[in-house]
Amino acid sequence: MRTFSILRITALLFSTACGALLAEDFPFENPVAGKEAKATFTTNSDGATAVQVSDNHGAALLQQDLHKQAVQSARWTEDGKFLVITSRNSEGHSPWRCTVDVFSVDAREIRLLSDDKKRPPFISSDIWCQAPDTVILVGHTFLHKIPAPDDPILVRYEMSKLWPKLKKL
């Protein structure tokens, strides 16, 4: 885990918050196109988000509801093998905390990244990617005894190494 400057993180969070004010149905481009597949998101009447992933020829790879999740952002890794999805609880619980799900093209399933006590809680929907499959997210550290979300850190994960350890939905 690598940390970055608090000023840099604060600037990134501020610019994201300002941009979110202009959001319509989803605060990101929908569908999300990748090298090997594309993902489309729709909101169900019960507040869940339906995820549909199809390959570049239109064949369905996944159709799944993310229960109680309002998707805030989604992004493919640079190699196009993993789709990282950030969401907030659609019922309003823990508004500072984000859920992070990961879809694998090869496995054709979604797994949960944010459900491990060894990883910091995620506090932003921002997703950055670096080649080939590194994902950078904003977490919170409780090391300084500052309440969330006021002590952010950037954390990075290599999806191909992390994937086998993730919890299945």
Domain boundaries, given as residue ranges, for the chain? 6-24+69-168
Tell me, yes or no, if the pTM score tops 0.85.
no
Contact partners, residue 130, CB within 8 Å, separation at least 6: 78, 136, 156
| CA–CA separation, 17 and 5 (whole Å) | 19
Could you give the maximum distance between any two Cα atoms of the chain, in Å? 50
Residues of the chain with pLDDT under 50: 1-3, 7, 11-24
> Contact, 111 vs 101, CB < 8 A?
yes
pLDDT (tens digit, 9 = 90+) per residue, 41-90?
999 888 889 999 999 999 999 999 999 888 999 999 999 999 999 998 86
Element (H, E) at 20: helix 6-20
Q: Which of 62, 39, 26, 27 is nearest to 168 (CA)?
A: 62
In which residue are the tokens 């090298």 written?
Answer: 35
- What is the strand order of the sheet 134-140 is part of? 122-130, 134-140, 152-158
